[in-house]
C-alpha cells in the first residue's frame, strides 16, 4: 500500500467512531458506529483479510461491486469502504432491526396489513435486483433489515451473482436450507430468479405462521418437508425435474389443501403463495408479477412503513421505559391485564408493545371484531366483505360503473346497445335503481362499522383507565345486532342487482349491422372461384364412398351423431390439425392443448347460462361436477384467471387445440347425417389477449379474421366474410365475423369460422387485469379477450371433400399433402351407383 493509500485509509478509519458490537460471524464483526463528520449512525462490517489467500476476500469485493450499482429504496445503502489494520471495512446505513426479529417477537402482533407491507417491500427490492440481472441467493428474514422509518431493505449480497446468460453455471449450495428451492435441492447448476422467489414465498409463509415454514434437517429431509406441504411433483407439473443432477424419485404424496396449512390467510394470499411455490421454475411467478398480484390491491391496504410494528432497536435495552400513552398515534401500551388474541393463539405478557388501535382498524377491514369478554380481548372472524363491491366485481361482466352517471358515464350507451341487441332496454333503469339501493345500504352498513370501531376504542380506553365499561359494552352488542341486520340487507340488495346485471350483454360496436335476422348478415367480402357444376356429390355421400368414417357403428356405440373416423379420415383430420398448428406457430402463436373438462365454477365464468342447457355435457363422479368443453375458447379463457397482465406481456397469442363436445340440443333435426354437425370434434382455435387501450383489440380482431382467411386461401376453399347482425350476437361479443366456406353440392356458404372481440366482458368475470391501478385512476383496467376458430376439422373436411371431389375420389389440398405422406388423392373404396351420383342427402 502506498503512503497516500495509507493516509486515506487512516483518515477514513478515524472518521468513524465504533460503539457496541451488533453481531459477530465467521469472517468478521458488525459494529454500530457514528460518522463523526455527519453525526450519522452507521453500521460497519469489519472483515479480517488475513483469513483469506493473498489477503483478498473476493466475496466482500463482489458485494461492494454489486451494491455500488444497486441504488434502490429497498436495497441497503453502502456508504463507504476502507481498509484498516489488515481488515476491510464496509460502511452501511444503520438498520435498527431485521424481519427475523419481528417474526420471533411475541410481543408484536402482525395484522394482515402489516404482513402485506413487509412482503411488498421485500418483493420491491427483489424485483429491482432481478431487473438489474442480480440473483440474491440468500433471501431469509435476518437478511431483510428494517430502518428507523420502517423501510425494509435487502442486505448481505455476499452470495449474489449476475445472471442472464443461458450457459452460466452456478453452485446449488446457496441459501439457508429452509429457504432453498427444490431445483437447488436436486442439484441444479443453471437457474434463474425463481430461486429467490421460492425463498421469498418461504418468508411470506413465515410471516403468516410466525415460525419457519419448512424446517428440514438435511437436503433430503427438506425435500420431504416440501413434498408433504405441496404434494410430490410429477413430470407433467415439472418436465425438467427428472434431468436434474441429483434427482431421485420420491413416493407420491398428494398435496393437502393450502388452506389447511394457512387457515387464517385470505384467498388472495393463498393464491399468491401457490404461485410462489410452483414447482416448475419456468412457471413460477416473478417478483414483478407478484407485486402486480391482486393480493396487494385488495383491502386491507399495506400498512405504511412508519406505522409498522418493530422490536426495540439493536443495541438498545429491551426494558427501556415505554412512551406516554397517545390516543392519536401508535402507542406503547403498559396494561395490567393480559390481552388474549384468539386468532393468533397467544397470550401477551403484562407489557405489550403494539399499536392496538391501528391494529384494530386493520383487522376490522379484513373481517375481525373486538368484543370484550371480561378483561380479555377476543378476536372473532366474520364474513365482512361478502357485501362489498369487491365481491360484486367478481360476479359482474359489464362494469357497474358504466351505469353510474356520477362516475362520468352515460347509461344511454348501454340503452342503445340493448336496442341494437333487440333486448330489454328497461333493464338499464332497473339496474340503476338497484345499484343506488345497494350503495345506500352499503353506506349505512359502513357507518355502523365505523361506529362499532369508535365504541371499541372507547371501551379500550375505559378498560385501560380502570373505569366501568358496562354501558359501552352494551352499546357494542346493540351495534352488532344492527350491523348484522344491515349486512343481510346489503347482501339481498347485491343479489338483486347481480341477477339483473348478468342479463345485460356486452356493448355492441358501432360497426355492427343492426338487425335481428341472421339472414341479413352483412357480406364484407368474398374470395375464390366457386365451383358450380351439376350433380356434385355432397359431403355425406363422399365420406361414405371414401370410407373416412363409420357412422353406423358410431351411432350404435355413442348414439345419434356418433361416429368413428377411420383410415384416411383419421389421417386427413390429423393433417388439418398439424397444418393449423404450424400455420399459427409461424404467426407467433403459442400452441396450447387444453383440458377436456372444467370445474363448474370456472366454466360459469367462461360460458353463458344458456350453454349449460343447450351445449355442455356434465361429467359426474367423485368430488365436484365437471363439464366437457364445447370449444377450446372456454379453457383458454380460464388459463389466465386472476392474473395481472403487464403491458410488456401483451399481446398474447395462443393456438388452442382440443377435442370439443356439444349436445347440439338446439339443432334437433338439422344436419343429422355425416360429420358436419356432431357431438365430438377437433378444433384449432385462435385466442388472443390485448391491452384495453386505443384500437389494440380491434386491430387484433382484424388480424385474426385475416389469419383465418389466409388459412382457407392456403386450402383453396372459396369463402365469404360476413359481419353478424346485432340481434344474433352472444352476450360476450361486441362484434363478430363469420367465415363461411362454399359447399358446391348444396350451392351455399356455410359457417367454418367464428371470430369475436369480447373486449373486457369475459376478463372482468375472470379477473384478468391489465397493468396496475395507479393512485390517480378511478377504476382498474381489464385486458381484452378475442377468440376465432381456425378450423373445426370435421366440418372443414366436409368442405374440402365437396370442393376437391372428382370422378373417382377427391384430391388432397396441396397445403395438406406434406402431412399426408406426400399423397395427392384419396380414391373411392366403393364404386358409386349411377343413381347415387348427385343424390341429395340431408346434409
> b/e for 642-662, b at 16 or more Cβ within 10 A?
bbbbeeeebbbbbbbbbebbb
Determine whether the annotation assigns residue 628 to a binding site.
Answer: no
Identify the H or E element spanning 790.
strand 784-792
Helix, strand, or coil (residue 283): coil
Is there a catalytic annotation at residue 138?
yes
Under DSSP, the state recorded for 825 is E
The CB-based long-range contact list for 231-236 (8 Å cut-off, 24+ gap) reads: 231/255, 231/256, 233/182, 233/279
Backbone angles phi, psi at 722, to 5 degrees: -125, 145
Backbone angles phi, psi at 573, to 5 degrees: -60, -45
Helix ranges (DSSP H) in 20-70 = 58-69
Cβ(524)–Cβ(806) under 8 Å? no
* Dihedral angle, C-alpha 795, 800, 802, 808, nearest 10 °: -130
Cβ(680)–Cβ(657) under 8 Å? no
DSSP string, 696-738: HHHHHHHHHHHHHHHHHHHTT--EEEEEPPGGG--TT-SEEEE
State CA 647 to chain mean position distance: 14
> If you compute the radius of gyration of the chain from its CA atoms, what whole number of angstroms results?
33
Grid cell, residue 795, equals 366440418
Determine whether the annotation assigns residue 45 to a binding site.
Answer: yes
Determine whether the annotation assigns residue 29 to a binding site.
Answer: yes
> b/e for 472-489, b at 16 or more Cβ within 10 A?
bbebbeebbeebeebbeb
For the chain, the first-to-last Cα distance in angstroms comes to 95
DSSP string, 740-784: EEEETTTTEEEEEEEEEE-TTHHHHHHT-EES---TT-SS-EE-E
Determine whether the annotation assigns residue 622 to a binding site.
Answer: no
Edge-to-edge, what's the strand order for the sheet holding 769-770? 644-645, 769-770, 781-782
> b/e for 40-74, b at 16 or more Cβ within 10 A?
ebbbbbbbbbeeeeeeebeebebbeebbeebebeb
Determine whether the annotation assigns residue 666 to a binding site.
Answer: no
> b/e for 820-831, b at 16 or more Cβ within 10 A?
beebeebebeee
Grid cell, residue 554, equals 358410431
Helix, strand, or coil (residue 60): helix
How far is 384 from 668, CA to CA, in rounded Å? 48
Grid cell, residue 563, equals 361416429
- Interhelix angle 539-546/793-804, rounded to 10 degrees, is 90
Determine whether the annotation assigns residue 46 to a binding site.
Answer: yes
Q: Give the residue from 380, 392, 399, 499 showing the smallest Cα distance to 441.
A: 392
Preceding omega of 300 cis (within 30 degrees of 0): yes
Helix, strand, or coil (residue 198): helix
Determine whether the annotation assigns residue 200 to a binding site.
Answer: no
How many other CB atoms are there within 10 angstroms of residue 346's CB atom? 13
How far is 172 from 750, CA to CA, in rounded Å? 60
Q: How many Cα atoms sit within 13 Å of 90 on the Cβ side?
A: 27
Query: Catalytic pick from 98, 105, 114, 138?
Result: 138
Q: The cell 437436503 sits on which residue?
A: 219
Cβ(670)–Cβ(560) under 8 Å? no
Grid cell, residue 630, equals 364445447
Residues whose CB falls within 8 Å of the CB of residue 614, separated by 6 or more in sequence, listed in order: 663, 665, 666
Determine whether the annotation assigns residue 28 to a binding site.
Answer: yes
Annotated binding site for ATP: 22-30, 45-46
Residues labelled catalytic:
138
Amino acid at each position: 500500500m502506498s503512503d497516500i493509500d495509507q493516509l486515506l485509509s487512516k483518515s477514513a478509519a478515524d472518521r468513524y467512531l465504533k460503539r457496541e458490537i451488533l453481531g459477530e460471524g465467521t469472517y468478521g464483526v458488525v459494529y454500530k458506529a457514528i460518522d463523526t463528520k455527519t453525526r450519522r449512525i452507521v453500521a460497519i462490517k469489519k472483515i479480517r483479510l488475513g483469513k483469506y489467500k493473498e489477503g483478498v476476500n473476493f466475496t466482500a469485493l463482489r458485494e461492494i461491486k454489486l451494491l455500488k450499482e444497486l441504488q434502490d429504496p429497498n436495497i441497503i445503502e453502502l456508504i463507504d469502504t476502507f481498509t484498516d489494520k489488515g481488515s476491510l471495512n464496509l460502511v452501511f446505513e444503520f438498520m435498527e432491526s431485521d424481519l427475523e426479529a419481528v417474526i420471533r417477537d411475541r410481543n408484536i402482533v402482525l395484522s394482515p396489513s402489516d404482513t402485506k407491507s413487509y412482503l411488498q417491500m421485500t418483493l420491491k427490492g427483489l424485483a429491482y435486483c432481478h431487473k438489474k440481472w442480480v440473483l440474491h441467493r440468500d433471501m431469509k428474514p435476518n437478511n431483510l433489515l428494517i430502518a428507523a422509518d420502517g423501510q425494509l431493505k435487502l442486505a448481505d449480497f455476499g452470495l449474489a451473482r449476475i445472471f442472464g446468460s443461458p450457459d452460466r453455471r452456478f453452485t446449488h449450495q446457496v441459501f439457508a436450507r429452509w429457504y432453498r428451492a427444490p431445483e437447488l435441492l436436486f442439484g441444479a447448476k443453471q437457474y434463474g430468479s425463481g430461486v429467490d422467489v421460492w425463498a421469498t414465498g418461504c418468508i411470506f409463509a413465515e410471516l403468516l405462521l410466525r415460525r419457519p415454514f419448512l424446517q428440514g434437517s438435511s437436503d433430503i429431509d427438506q425435500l420431504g418437508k416440501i413434498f408433504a406441504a405441496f404434494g410430490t411433483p410429477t413430470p407433467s407439473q415439472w418436465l425438467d425435474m427428472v434431468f436434474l443432477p441429483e434427482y431421485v424419485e420420491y413416493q407420491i404424496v398428494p398435496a393437502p389443501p393450502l388452506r389447511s396449512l394457512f387457515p387464517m390467510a385470505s384467498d388472495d394470499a393463498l393464491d399468491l403463495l401457490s404461485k410462489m411455490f410452483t414447482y416448475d421454475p419456468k412457471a413460477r411467478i416473478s417478483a414483478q408479477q407478484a407485486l402486480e398480484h391482486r393480493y396487494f390491491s385488495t383491502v386491507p391496504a399495506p400498512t405504511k412503513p412508519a406505522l409498522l410494528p418493530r422490536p426495540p432497536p439493536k443495541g438498545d435495552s429491551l426494558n427501556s421505559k415505554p412512551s406516554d400513552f397517545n390516543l392519536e398515534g401508535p402507542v406503547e401500551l403498559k396494561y395490567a391485564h393480559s390481552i388474549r388474541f384468539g386468532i393468533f393463539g397467544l397470550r401477551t405478557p403484562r407489557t405489550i408493545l403494539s399499536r392496538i388501535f391501528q391494529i384494530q382498524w386493520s383487522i376490522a377491514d379484513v373481517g375481525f371484531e373486538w368484543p370484550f369478554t371480561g378483561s380479555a380481548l377476543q378476536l372473532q372472524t366474520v364474513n365482512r366483505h361478502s357485501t362489498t363491491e369487491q365481491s360484486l366485481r367478481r360476479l359482474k361482466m359489464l362494469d357497474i360503473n358504466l351505469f353510474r352517471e356520477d362516475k362520468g358515464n352515460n347509461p344511454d350507451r348501454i340503452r342503445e346497445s340493448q336496442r341494437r341487441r333487440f333486448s330489454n332496454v328497461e333493464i338499464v333503469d332497473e339496474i340503476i335503481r338497484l345499484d343506488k339501493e345497494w350503495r345506500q345500504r352499503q353506506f349505512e352498513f359502513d357507518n355502523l362499522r365505523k361506529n362499532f370501531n369508535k365504541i371499541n376504542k372507547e371501551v379500550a380506553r375505559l378498560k385501560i383507565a380502570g373505569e366501568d365499561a358496562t354501558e359501552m359494552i352494551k352499546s357494542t352488542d346493540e351495534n352488532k345486532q344492527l350491523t348484522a341486520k344491515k349486512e343481510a340487507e346489503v347482501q339481498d340488495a347485491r343479489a338483486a342487482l347481480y341477477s339483473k346485471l348478468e342479463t345485460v350483454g356486452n356493448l355492441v360496436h358501432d360497426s355492427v349491422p343492426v338487425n335481428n335476422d341472421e339472414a341479413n348478415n352483412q357480406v364484407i367480402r368474398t374470395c375464390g372461384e366457386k365451383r358450380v357444376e351439376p350433380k356434385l356429390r355432397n359431403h355425406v355421400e363422399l365420406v361414405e364412398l371414401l370410407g373416412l368414417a363409420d357412422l353406423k357403428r358410431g351411432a350404435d356405440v355413442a348414439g345419434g351423431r356418433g361416429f368413428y373416423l377411420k383410415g384416411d379420415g383419421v389421417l386427413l383430420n390429423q393433417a388439418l390439425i398439424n397444418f393449423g398448428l404450424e400455420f399459427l406457430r409461424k404467426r407467433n402463436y403459442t400452441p396450447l392443448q387444453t383440458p377436456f373438462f372444467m370445474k363448474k365454477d370456472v366454466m360459469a365464468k367462461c360460458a353463458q347460462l344458456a350453454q349449460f342447457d343447450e351445449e355442455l355435457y356434465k361429467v359426474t363422479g367423485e368430488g365436484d361436477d365437471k363439464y366437457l368443453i364445447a370449444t377450446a375458447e372456454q379453457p383458454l379463457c380460464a388459463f389466465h384467471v386472476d392474473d395481472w397482465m403487464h403491458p410488456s406481456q401483451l399481446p398474447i397469442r395462443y393456438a388452442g387445440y382440443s377435442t370439443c363436445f356439444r349436445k347440439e340440443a338446439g339443432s334437433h333435426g338439422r344436419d343429422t347425417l355425416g360429420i358436419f354437425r356432431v357431438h365430438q370434434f377437433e378444433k384449432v382455435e385462435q385466442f388472443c389477449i390485448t391491452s384495453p387501450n386505443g384500437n389494440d383489440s380491434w386491430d387484433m380482431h382484424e388480424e385474426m379474421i385475416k389469419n383465418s382467411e389466409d388459412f382457407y386461401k392456403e386450402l383453396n376453399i372459396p369463402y365469404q366474410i360476413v359481419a353478424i347482425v346485432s340481434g344474433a350476437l352472444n352476450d360476450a361479443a361486441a362484434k363478430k365475423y363469420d367465415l363461411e366456406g362454399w359447399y358446391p353440392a348444396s350451392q351455399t356458404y356455410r359457417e367454418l369460422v367464428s371470430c369475436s372481440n369480447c373486449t373486457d366482458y369475459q376478463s372482468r368475470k375472470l379477473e384478468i387485469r391489465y397493468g396496475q391501478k395507479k393512485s390517480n385512476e378511478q377504476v382498474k383496467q381489464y385486458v381484452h379477450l378475442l377468440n376465432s376458430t381456425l378450423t373445426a376439422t370435421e366440418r372443414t373436411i366436409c368442405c374440402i371433400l365437396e370442393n376437391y371431389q372428382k370422378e373417382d375420389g377427391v384430391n388432397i389440398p396441396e397445403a395438406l399433402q406434406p402431412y399426408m405422406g406426400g399423397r395427392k388423392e384419396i380414391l373411392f373404396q366403393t364404386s358409386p351407383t349411377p343413381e347415387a351420383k348427385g343424390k341429395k342427402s340431408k346434409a
